[in-house]
Chain A
Amino acid sequence: MSKAAELAALIGSQTALSNRNLVINGAMQVSQRATSATGIGGTGDTYKVLDRFRYGLNGGDATAGRFTASQAAITDLPGFGFAHKLDCTTADTSIAAGEAFTIQQRIEGQNLQQLAKGTSSAKAVTVSFYAKGTAKKYMLEIQDAENSRIIQQQFDVTTSWQRFSITFPGDTSGTVANDNAVGLYLNMWLHGGSTYSSGTYNASTWKAQSNADRAAGIDSFFSSTDNELFITGVQMELGEQATPFEHRSFADELARCQRYYFRINYNGDNNYFAAGGVYTTTAAMAMLPLPVEMRAAPTAIDQSGTAAHYGSWGNGATQVCSAVPAIRGSSSKTTCAIDLTFSSLNSATGTYNYRIVNASGYIGVSAEL
């Protein structure tokens, strides 16, 4: 296609020239929680490594399969420095009916209004991504959980990098609410039991969600410990054309990720993260300012699991915590309220500064979808 034809195609498809990509962290640049994690596969394993990419393992049955996920540095795909790598470490060849494994990105409804979904003007979307790995057939799916509708297309991974480009037509049924809740799920199905695979595969046709169709005809990532998969350059954009991947700066991508999750790590001995007051000599509350307005008031915090990694300074004394920090409901989109517990502070009044006192300490604040 000539440059003029490419431009005409872009204009014709009404594709924006910037901020095209509805996927956050598509180049796998941001990994606040960890750059790798092992033994993933339990039903509670959701966000483990790369920001915004969630593992869906909450089928009716738990898989015995396990994998290591990492933010892998790559040098064999020009223009990209990282990929999301999955490495099967425990195979699962006795697949119960309700097993499921997806890589998922949840997209806010207010970011999807340009799709005009559920109207007569509904627009097509194109999903593109680079993948390589053990040769397998997997499924890409857009799921409108609010209206129980799906559209899918299989794709075949090979041992060499390929750029996949899949265009889905607009959906004139089922509007997406214009709010900060989940509007659509972008799912890559990598494994599914008969509950999700005993149905019929219909390529690129919007239909009512039939769970039996969702992984129909795909292979299983958990078939062998030889299996691995690399993915990067994930883009979802308005229109029928896959445009070149929209690279964003690290700072831009980090800020986008921090709308959903923010982690502050230990950064030296004077690592104060918040100030706050005390209720009693044993109970304190820290108010942690958030660097980006979050999607909603935080609903969870995570930390290292060791109380002594956190402490206070105030009234001329330092002290370590006697219980791990805990979330409070009195948080807002811009400030996270955190309970800190001590065996005995030297005052039941006044202002204290709270800090992370061990290199293994961190506080992560979640407003995930």
Chain B
Amino acid sequence: MSYSVMKTNEDNEVIYQRTDADGLVRRTCLAHDPEFQSWLSANQSSLPDDIQAKVDDGILTIADAD
């Protein structure tokens, strides 16, 4: 599974999506979702380009690991 940027909605919120191994998107979340943050923390050295771009732009912050 991996996360990517799904869209920016009408309220200018960035929505992220989790794509599972079978290619289906089963989860969408906000930046501060704990499960998404755990994934970011575990994968921060090899983030997908679109996620990394949000981090680089300061739009997405990776919280401290548990």
Contacts and interface: CB of A to CB of B under 8 A. Distances in A.
A42 B20 CA distance: 11
B11 to A, nearest CB: 6
Contacts of B15: 326-328, 339
Given A44-B18, A329-B30, A300 B25 contact: no
Contact of B26 (A46, A305, A330, A369): A305
Nearest to A326: B28
Nearest to B23: A305
A318 interface: no
A338 B36 CA distance: 18
B43 A327 contact: no
Nearest to B17: A326
A366 B38 contact: no
Contact of B35 (A300, A324, A325): A300
Given A43-B42, A328-B11, A366 B35 contact: yes
B54 interface: no
B29 A299 contact: yes
Nearest to A143: B66
Contact of A43 (B6, B18, B33, B39): B39
A369 B35 CA distance: 9
Contact of A299 (B18, B32, B42): B32
A329 B15 CA distance: 9
Contacts of B18: 44
Contacts of A330: 11
Nearest to A296: B32
A329 B13 contact: yes
B9 A368 contact: no
B48 interface: no
Q: Is the interface of B mostly helix, strand, loop or mixed?
A: mixed
A326 B6 contact: yes
A301 interface: yes
Contacts of B39: 43-44, 58
Interface in B1-29: 1, 6-7, 9-11, 13, 15, 17-18, 20, 22, 24-29
A279 interface: yes
Contacts of B33: 299-300, 366
A77 B3 CA distance: 41
A110 interface: no
Interface centre among A279, A303, A304, A327 (most CB of B within 10 A): A327
Nearest to B38: A58
B66 to A, nearest CB: 6
Nearest to A307: B25
Contacts of A303: 26-27
A44 B28 contact: no
A302 interface: yes
Nearest to B39: A44
B56 to A, nearest CB: 22
B42 A300 contact: no
Interface string A328-341: 11100000000100
Contact of B28 (A58, A62, A324): A324
B43 A305 contact: no
Interface of B: 1, 6-7, 9-11, 13, 15, 17-18, 20, 22, 24-30, 32-36, 38-39, 41-43, 65-66
Given A44-B38, A299-B32, 5 more contacts: A62-B42, A303-B27, A326-B15, A329-B9, A329-B30
23 contacts: A42-B1, A43-B43, A44-B18, A60-B42, A62-B42, A299-B34, A302-B27, A303-B27, A305-B20, A305-B24, A305-B25, A324-B25, A324-B26, A325-B28, A326-B6, A326-B15, A327-B15, A327-B28, A327-B30, A328-B15, A330-B11, A366-B33, A368-B35
